[in-house]
Amino acid sequence: MIRLIVLFIIISLGSCATDLMKDNQCILNWETEKFTCHKKSTGRVFYTGEMIFVNEISYKHGIGKEFYEDGSLYEGSFEYGVRNGMGKYIFPSVASCSSMWKEDRQSGEVTCEYFEKEIGHLRTGQTDGAGNWVGETVYTFPSGEKIVEFWDNGTLINKLNK
């Protein structure tokens, strides 16, 4: 509780003049112990979740949601301001892709579940960390049919029906 009071005082006094706080304002919900951050200029919410303050610098830290201008969002774990740990990137009306994140990049196997006209479709494979498929992926249809795809830096080079 004392930690939360200290965090509230730091935010209230406006002593966090960092990139995160420059044009932004974060408000603590005392009941949930989560912050909601929005742009002062537009009022648009861009982050809700846990934060940490170190040497008067604020960081997204713990579990949170980050909202992007294009309507997509990341929901998952943050560590000192970057995506680290398990997380899900959601592309509105397209797909939800879950993976581990390391230093703000996807790491290891990525699984995407598709929405709307491709509902029930699933793709599993590796990315280059920036979202481009690499190597072999398996695309599974609701019927159980599978296609093995081979990617080179985000470009599909071959696919085989299984």
Q: Where are the domains of the chain?
A: 1-67, 90-162
Using DSSP's 3-state secondary structure scheme, residue 124 falls into: strand
**pLDDT at residue 161 in the model:** 85
Q: What share of the chain in percent tops pLDDT 70?
A: 86
**pLDDT at residue 55 in the model:** 86
Q: Which amino acid is at 162?
A: K
Residue 65 has pLDDT above 90, yes or no: yes
Distance CA 154, CA 160 (A): 17
| Tens-place pLDDT, residues 74-94 | 999 999 999 999 999 999 889
What is the arithmetic mean of pLDDT over 51-62? 86
| Tens-place pLDDT, residues 24-43 | 788 888 887 788 888 777 77
| Tens-place pLDDT, residues 130-145 | 878 889 999 898 888 9
